[in-house]
Amino acid sequence: MKLAATTAATIAVVSLLTAPGFAFEISKTEAGATVHWDTPEVVYTIHTAGTRQMSNTQAREAIIESFDTWNGHGADLHLVYGGEIANGHHGYVKNQENSNTIIWEDDSWPYDPNALALTLTSFERGSGRLVDADIIINSADYSWATDGQSGRHDLSNSLTHEVGHFIGLGHSESEHATMFPSAAPGEVLKRTLYNDDLRGLNFLYANNTQAIGSDWTDADVATESDDSGYRINDAQVHLACSTTAPGGSPRGFGAFFALGGLLLGATFFRRRRQPRHTARRSTLAVAALLVTGVVAVSSSATATTLPALTLDQVTVASERVVLVEVLDQAADFEGGVIWTHTTVRVEECWSGDCDDDTLVVRTPGGVVGDLEQRVHGVTTMRTGDRLVLFLEATPNTLGQVFRPFGMALGALRVHQLGQDTVAVRDLTDVALVNQERVAVHGDDMTFAIELDELRRLVRD
């Protein structure tokens, strides 16, 4: 009875703290600026290499259709097809000619192979002004089509969603919206825009309420925050806080907790490994998280699709699982892509061969000078952070450099809540597809778990 009362009270707190006036989200820089294009006309191109999975004509027609879907609607933004180019590249190179390019990778995928596609955005750190955006499609590992074939990802459906991220939008919490963060193979519903998508478009580029129908409502949300993060007991927390609802109100975990997140790890490990007393302890841990403010964690503008793997599956696939503290970071350009090398101190080794006291973790995205680059679905790490990392060796590094397996799937951030230590897996930044090829909302696989319980489950 006491547990039921605690749960009910917790859900009530969530409802009060996270009720949104808008369902759409906008992307933010680490400094808190809105990510946006500052010109009314943005030109995009298509790499001439194309893909062997369809003709260039088929791909071009689907791509143009996806971009044109966002044109008009009262917004002061026009996306213009600039033709095919042979020298398009991933990312942004200063003092060189850059282009916003859609690129297929049929033979070599340089990012985590679990990603179906990703959008790489480059923008000024202070102002949020976009200087480059590329959509990169993983055709080396996944199948694509233009006619909604079952078992293949529909190009128009996926790209219309990606173009929303291209212009600075994040996810929508409305399941009918194009920017809702899930899409199963063969789905075609995201080829057209929903009212909430138009709200987001006009908020960024016109704020034209007359273009979206009579159900427009202003946000009425106020959550204490600042430019650098959100608070737990007066301690700064950084959990990929790069997307907010209009007006600056963060969101991400709220819907998850209110819609069943109190079950926590029960559905993410095999049920036979989750005894009843664990669920009770985990539920109380979530109540503590909510009361102390972790509910204010926000998701990033999602532009990456990953398989919906449980932590059990991620553990089996990883070469080692470690509890670490971030010691130092260095970021630099490799071609047009910023790669960040993070040095971590190994506090505990839970699985695999862990002879080293320190490890180097390599992830795409980061900050160099005044330029910030983001690959959504990559967990942001900062000096002093503690994380549980599920690692695999990065190819061609002789086992000396690692990456989290499955990007955000393999990284849990650790929080100290009084005497309790809790690990949080935040998948609100990604769209997921499960093994049955059914779309899964990232919120549905986001959870918190006591660190001791996570350690036991990984080691068992």
Q: What is the mean pLDDT of residues 401-418?
A: 91
Distance between first and last Cα of the chain = 31
Distance of CA 140 to the CA centre of its chain: 21
- Strands 447-450 and 100-105, sheet pairing: unpaired
Residue 153: pLDDT band (50, 70, 90) is confident
Mean pLDDT of the region 117-122: 88
Within 13 Å and on the Cβ side, how many CA atoms surround 45? 18
pLDDT over 50 at 204, yes or no: yes
**What pLDDT does 183 receive?**
55
Decide: residue 384, CB within 10 A, 0-12 exposed, 13-18 middle, 19+ buried: exposed
- Give the separation between CA 23 and CA 12, rounded to whole angstroms: 19
Distance, CA of 460 to CA of 442 (rounded, Å): 26
Give 412's DSSP letter: E
| Rounded mean pLDDT, 57-74 | 92
Beta-carbon count within 10 A of 374 CB: 28
Which residues on adjacent β-strands are paired with residue 243?
27
The two structure tokens encoding residue 176 = 């009918």
Measured CA to CA, the distance from residue 89 to residue 356 in angstroms comes to 36
Confidence of residue 199 (pLDDT cuts 50, 70, 90): confident
Give φ, ψ of 271 to 5 degrees: -60, -30
Least confident of 63-67, 101-105, 389-393, 429-433: 429-433
Domain ranges of the chain: 27-211
Q: What would be the CATH architecture of the domain defined by 27-211?
A: 3-Layer(aba) Sandwich (3.40)
pLDDT exceeds 90 at position 305? no
Lowest mean pLDDT among 224-233, 353-362, 389-398: 224-233
Residue 143 has pLDDT above 90, yes or no: no
For residue 185, name the pLDDT band (cuts at 50, 70, 90).
Answer: low
What strands, in cross-sheet order, belong to the sheet with 305-307? 305-307, 431-433, 439-441
Q: Answer whether 0.85 is exceeded by the pTM.
A: no
Which range among 91-100, 164-173, 227-236 shows the weakest confidence by mean pLDDT?
227-236
Q: Kindly state the tokens that stand for 19.
A: 């009720």
Tokens of 24: 């759409």
* Maximal CA-CA distance, the chain: 66
Residue whose pair of structure tokens reads 């007066």 in the numeric block = 234
CB 314 within 8 A of CB 410: yes
More confident residue, 107 or 426: 107
- Does residue 371 have a pLDDT over 60? yes
Show Cβ contacts of residue 109 under 8 Å, excluding neighbours closer than 6 positions: 115, 138, 140, 141
Residue 325 or 143, more confident: 325
Whether residue 256 is predicted with pLDDT greater than 60 in this model: the reply is no
Question: Mean pLDDT for the chain?
Answer: 73
**Taking 60 as the threshold, does the pLDDT of residue 436 lie above it?**
no
- The pLDDT assigned to 280 comes to 38
What pLDDT, on a 0 to 100 scale, did the predictor assign at position 4? Answer: 39
454 has pLDDT over 90: yes
Dihedral over Cα of 42, 48, 51, 55: its sign: positive
| For residue 265, pLDDT beyond 80 | no
DSSP three-state, residue 140: coil
SS3 444: helix
User: Residue 188: its pLDDT value, please?
Assistant: 55
Q: Give the residue from 156, 106, 98 showing the smallest Cα distance to 136.
A: 106
Q: Which of 135-144, 313-322, 394-403 has the lowest mean pLDDT?
A: 394-403
Burial code (b: 16+ CB inside 10 Å, e: under 16) for 22-55 equals bbbbbbbbbebbbbbbeeeebebbbbeebbebbe
- What is the Cα–Cα distance from 272 to 274, expressed in whole angstroms? 6
Cα 11-442-61 angle, rounded to 5 deg: 140
**What mean pLDDT is predicted for residues 140-164?**
81
What's the CA gap between 47 and 367, in Å, rounded?
Answer: 26
Q: Band the pLDDT of 291: cuts 50, 70, 90.
A: very low
Residue pair 69/163 in contact (Cβ under 8 Å)? The answer is: yes
- With pLDDT > 90 as the criterion, what percentage of the chain qualifies? 39
- Whether residue 236 is predicted with pLDDT greater than 60 in this model: the reply is no
Region 422-444: mean pLDDT is: 66
CA 239, CA 293: separation in Å to the nearest integer?
12
Q: Which long-range contacts (CB under 8 A, 24 or more apart) does 410-416 make?
A: 410/314, 410/318, 411/379, 411/381, 411/387, 412/387, 412/388, 412/454, 413/239, 413/379, 413/385, 413/386, 413/387, 414/323, 414/385, 414/386, 414/387, 414/388, 414/451, 415/232, 415/237, 415/289, 415/294
